[in-house]
Structure 1
Amino acid sequence: MRYREEFDREVRVEETWIPVRDGTRLHARIWRPVDADRDPVPALLEYLPYRKGDWTAPRDSQRHAWYAGHGYASVRVDIRGSGDSEGVMHDEYAPQELDDAVAVIEWLAARDWCTGGVGMFGISWGGFNSLQVAALRPEPLKAIVTVCSTDDRYDNDVHYTGGAVLGIDMAAWSGTMLAFTARPPDPRVTGEDWLPMWRKRLGEIEPFLHTWLAHQERDDYWRHGSVCEDYDSIRAAVLAVGGWADPYRDTVLRLVEHLPGPVRGLIGPWAHQYPDIERPPGPAIGFLQETLRWWDHWLKDADNGAMDVPLLRSYIQEPVPPRTHYAERPGRWVGDDAWPARSVTWRDRALDGALRPHAAADDGTVTVASPQHTGVDAGRFFPFGNATDLPPDQREDDGRSACFDSAPLEERVEVLGRPRVRLRMDCDVPRANVVVRLCDVAPDGASTLVARGVLNLAGRNGRDRREPWEPGRPEEVAVELSGTGYAFPPGHRIRVAVSTAYWPWVWPHGEPARLTLWAARSALALPERDPAADAGRAPVVFEAPEQARPIPVTVAEGERRPERRVSHDVERGEWTLEVDPNYGGSRTFPDGLEYTEQALETYRIRSGDPLSAVADSQWHIRLRREGWETSVRTRTELRATADAFIVRSDLTACSGDEVVAQREWEREIPRTAG
């Protein structure tokens, strides 16, 4: 990493309150050139609930100061009810959040130090709301950079996938946000108001999970904020960025295909991180320089070639042995000027032809009935670059699935896009999930996960409805897999693995399912890219990563629990997965603030009993500075009967030894699509 120490423009940092329409004040930190009052600059906004005073402070200092040094007012705002901002946060991406964002953009554009042009950027939450705010078309907003985000809040977020309830993040992310929204304001910023502000938050917050599970089909709740409902609403220029190790990568493919206005897409090998942050899997790129060209073009009218790059730049990953961590994924960058790309051709491989089942009945049918713990080797839903994030060798999960293998490949097969699997099938129960994985099988038998997809059969004809399966009436269903850029080498086999369970990624229905597949009428469709399409094209290249030097943060060293541990109680037939999300642990900031967090996610299930599934999330957060100490403890547990989800949550918040709030919730929510 190269740290930039000096810039063309001297930078100052200031903190201020921004009033929104109902009088609530949001707290902001602004990095801007000291001479911007005489020589105004465009503004860039990053708008998050993750607390600029501690959680994102190191990252903020790397990029906001860098942008300011290159002639921008770079602004970091805490969303209402988070960090040091007033108010209460009741849900993610609520209309109030977006309305506040528009007010912030208008406030920035009206400053004397601003030219009136505004850009918005962010990763994950900040990438989501950048898209959503762009769809509202505030006049000053000219361009956005959205990283690791989604255009579809229902089917491509932490709640549902393929119409199925997510087990691994539906409960855990709600537990995380319960702990996060319960953190107090900082008296260094808010003065004596910090305690009344905190009491108000603690008295009004509600676990988000109650709302998410109350909407198990794609209804108006999920349509709100899903820009895929109306791509034409976005007129600002959009740079969409993702990583093949991130669950939101498919958004980039959809945006470059459907947005009517200026758009460019970029997909690298990365996890859920900004591409300039050197976290596995790399390689990292000079992402700040890349975005600076974007901002200069759209906010300063610079003729700098920002739109002369291919519509989609993507990374074709070379095959690697299966591991949970790669410092770098070998591969190469390619460019395509259209999406769907002219370089990509769809090729079908029948499941009893080019691919062959491991076992089939005399009539050519294949039976799928997976144990409930199938999926323990799925890896982390949100890889952050930690040591245990990525899926390990898939052979054990393959053994719990019905597998269809090609012969050893005679030539290299490059894939770019979203593979699809068509299944002619029957199911012996009205409600079931089908899970499909695409794997690369090496000559030694090692199985590397390439892509996967889930389908809740109740949503097979549309995620906005629930249609129970009628056993005895075979149908054809399509399962779309996650996007990938991957090269299968000669001598390897292509494997399709089909299962009825994928715990804890997918919450099981109330009874085990048995599928019957007609292999002769089922097929894998691969989007195969022609390597010859690169002939004569300029290579896709990036500068080396560069940032401003981050603020000095001391990370506490000490014994940590394993990041990921799987155990099997043989007598009970119970499998337990324990996950430490490892977001950063304990750290001390330059202003003396000590921030400590401990988290543990636990997932349990018995192999033969889908109703034994339990997801549990526990958090303990402490903030301390001389003369001030607070703590938050939360727990969220999700389980289910055949007819209902059972949610239990509790919260204890303390100032020193005084209990400021102690709350408990229990909800029973009917199972519909879930």
Structure 2
Amino acid sequence: MSEDEIAETTAPDLDGPFRVDVVGDMTIEWDVPIVVDDGNVLRADVFRPTAPGDYPVVLTYGPYGKGKPFREYQAESYRAMLAMHPEIAEGTSGKYQVFELVDPDRWVPDGYALVRVDSRGAGRSPGVLDPLSEREIRDLYECVEWAGSRSWSNGKVGLNGISYFAMNAWQVATLRPPHLAAVIAWEGAADWYRDVTYHGGIHTTFENLWYGAIAGGAQHGLGERGGRNPITGQLVCGDQTLSPEELAANRVDMPAIDKSHPLVDDHHRARTRDLSQIRVPLLSAGNWGGLGLHLRGNTRGFELAGSDQKWLAMHDETHFSLFYADYGVDLQKRFLGHFLKAEDNGWDEQPRVHLRTRHADGRVGERVSSDWPLPETQWTRLYLSADHGLNADHGLITDHGSMTTTPAPDHASVSYSGKEGRAAFSYVVPADIELAGPVGAKLFVESSTADADLFLVLRAFAPDGTEVTYQGANDPHVPISQGWLRASHRAVDPQRSRPFLPLHPHDRVEPLKPGTIYEVDVEILPTSLMLPAGFTLALDVQAHDYVHRPAVEEAEAHANPRTSFTGSGPFLHADPTTRPDDVYAGTVTVHTGPEYASHLILPVISD
């Protein structure tokens, strides 16, 4: 659309939109005020059909700045996405496309009104920045009700966005706003402790990076430092330019607060609601490669949600590419069209579970089922044997330990350094095998110190020793799956645990007694894999984050000023103050044999 085809109207009411643009068949209201119950004024951009009518609403509320076009503020990611899926650029100007939100050019012509709200304390919405707090979720509730009561709304509001916009969708859906009619949670964590801040009780440093990016690039009050909306000329992060001290006073120190709460308590519970209270139709769309953040939320969220009408769709590729590609847009529009517009579009025949299945050679297939975990799963145990030890060096399996379908006949053990070491166990697949679902592990371990952090990595290797990795949500070389457990958090909830999915309350610390063998159950995140006969499946039990050695070598050979991810993306556990050497750098020993039957539980699919 050329500039001379835009009719611009500046609103005379200071309490109304900043301005209104009519762009052909689309009307855009910029910076509309939404007054919430405590008097704070949130700001939203509204994109809707120009023709009079009642339209369903797709709403999002988040902290990244609604005035930052994707193609300008995340230019490299945008170009990479288009290279993977050129169809994303078809039929759109791209100028209104914002990171992790739906594109107005592709949605408004289909009769949807889009509402984008800057969350409290971010973008153009004033207030204290406190992401995913109870105050924020109440704001989102009120935004849903505001949108559902507009003159141009049909009274039905759907939530649809990636990551943060899915995380708060889980939360607000439990409050059941009357106008909320459907939710799409696309790659969204659901448990603040287990998915975001602590993996198996081990503190992750990702939050430092994430929250720093918000505070440095999108907090309200950045003023001139936050950039301008290239369409309206407005400052993206508010008209005032506050000092660093003023900005700090206007945000909670989330990383420090979370670090000071190493156990599940009221602080974490306030950001993790009871998903069984969700009643609206739900589509949970997860990414097999989202190991460090969102994957668990999508599968557990689907299981726990109380909705009678709920669907799970699992995909591959990067964090956002398929959301914008035809695959994702078609899925989203069929779901929302059915529930927001009563369209007869075939959604009533959509399989309850749809998986894009990964193959060892990089191909992607599909599988449908009636539930999750898949009812047709044959839960299969592979028993660890430490007879040979086991080691993986630079991605190549050498002749050490093994896994077998029967328990090892004799007791054996393998030890490694709790700071840098590992023990690994391998199994050569005798026939083609498909895995699809959660993975569990039971280990018998001892430590020379009062605790041990266990990092479990499920890996696959071709017959020539080349490791099979995949494009992850954030990292180009992620392993098959990962799991974590701080051994002092080994207590499980017997009522909610299953052999393939142990659930740890993480509400107490039970130190280890050096020299004593303990039984521990470890949750390994769900996976999808078609592995041909002759390939090797391996389990590494180690003391550190997974590293894909070829990625390290490539990064060293091609010095890059940008951060290079080497297998675990930004989801690392590298804060030494949470893993002091005197507690976590001892000797860890894994025991196997008839009395100590350490094993994996795999989700083998049989047609």
Q: Counterpart of 1:250?
A: 296
Q: Counterpart of 1:528?
A: 604
Please say which of residues 132-141 and 508-517 is displaced more in the overlay: 508-517
Q: Verify: 1:403 aligned to 2:433, yes or no.
A: no
Q: CA deviation at 1:296?
A: 1.6
Contact 2:222 2:241 survives alignment (8 Å): no
Contact 1:366 1:402 survives alignment (8 Å): no
Q: Counterpart of 1:519?
A: 592
Q: Counterpart of 2:34?
A: 18
Structure 1: runs of 5+ lacking an equivalent: 1-8, 278-283, 321-328, 375-399, 533-674
1:433 aligns with one of 444, 448, 453: 453
CA distance in 1, matches of 2:131, 2:269: 13
- Map 1:172-571 to 2 at 5 A: 172-182=209-219, 184-185=222-223, 188-189=233-234, 194-195=239-240, 201-227=247-273, 230-247=274-291, 248-261=294-307, 262-277=309-324, 284-320=325-361, 329-352=362-385, 357=390, 358=400, 364-370=411-417, 372=419, 374=420, 400-406=421-427, 408-448=428-468, 449-461=479-491, 462-502=505-545, 505-507=572-574, 509-511=579-581, 512-520=585-593, 521-530=597-606, 532=607
Q: CA deviation at 1:456?
A: 0.7
Secondary structure at the residue paired with 2:194?
coil
Secondary structure at the residue paired with 1:482?
strand
Secondary structure at the residue paired with 1:69?
helix
Secondary structure at the residue paired with 1:440?
strand
State the one-letter code of the partner of 1:336. S
Q: Counterpart of 2:556?
A: none
Q: CA deviation at 1:76?
A: 0.9
Contact 2:417 2:588 survives alignment (8 Å): no
CA distance in 1, matches of 2:409, 2:299: 41
Contact 1:317 1:331 survives alignment (8 Å): yes
Q: CA deviation at 1:313?
A: 0.7
Report the CA distance shift for 1:274/1:76 in structure 2 as closer, same or farther (over 3 A): farther
State the one-letter code of the partner of 2:27. R
State the one-letter code of the partner of 2:354. R
- Map 1:21-100 to 2 at 5 A: 21-35=37-51, 38-54=52-68, 56=70, 58-59=97-98, 63-89=103-129, 91-100=130-139
Deviations 1:250-289 (A, max 9, x none): 2222233232211111111122215144xxxxxx543112
1:155 aligns with one of 194, 200, 206: 194
CA distance in 2, matches of 1:48, 1:97: 9
CA distance in 2, matches of 1:213, 1:519: 35
Q: CA deviation at 1:410?
A: 2.0
Kindly report the root-mean-square deviation, in angstroms, between the aligned alpha carbons of the 2 structures: 2.7
Deviations 1:366-402 (A, max 9, x none): 2332474x5xxxxxxxxxxxxxxxxxxxxxxxxx421
CA distance in 1, matches of 2:411, 2:326: 49
Structure 2: runs of 5+ lacking an equivalent: 1-23, 71-95, 391-399, 403-407, 469-478, 492-504, 547-570
Q: Counterpart of 1:119?
A: 158
CA distance in 2, matches of 1:193, 1:342: 52
Report the CA distance shift for 1:476/1:71 in structure 2 as closer, same or farther (over 3 A): same
Q: Give the TM-score taking structure 1 as reference length.
A: 0.66
Please say which of residues 179-188 and 475-484 is displaced more in the overlay: 179-188
CA distance in 2, matches of 1:371, 1:435: 10
Q: CA deviation at 1:120?
A: 1.1
Moved over 6 A (4+): 190-193, 196-199, 353-356, 360-363
Q: Give the TM-score taking structure 2 as reference length.
A: 0.73
State the one-letter code of the partner of 1:483. P
Deviations 1:640-664 (A, max 9, x none): xxxxxxxxxxxxxxxxxxxxxxxxx
1:138 aligns with one of 161, 177, 196: 177
Contact 2:379 2:601 survives alignment (8 Å): yes
Deviations 1:206-242 (A, max 9, x none): 4321111111111111112323xx2221011111111
Q: CA deviation at 1:355?
A: 10
Secondary structure at the residue paired with 1:418?
strand
The alignment of Structure 1 onto Structure 2 pairs a total of residues equal to: 475
State the one-letter code of the partner of 1:232. S
Report the CA distance shift for 1:334/1:421 in structure 2 as closer, same or farther (over 3 A): same
Q: Counterpart of 2:397?
A: none
Secondary structure at the residue paired with 1:496?
strand
Report the CA distance shift for 1:115/1:197 in structure 2 as closer, same or farther (over 3 A): farther
State the one-letter code of the partner of 2:29. E
CA distance in 2, matches of 1:419, 1:129: 27
CA distance in 2, matches of 1:354, 1:419: 24
Report the CA distance shift for 1:139/1:355 in structure 2 as closer, same or farther (over 3 A): farther
Secondary structure at the residue paired with 2:195?
coil
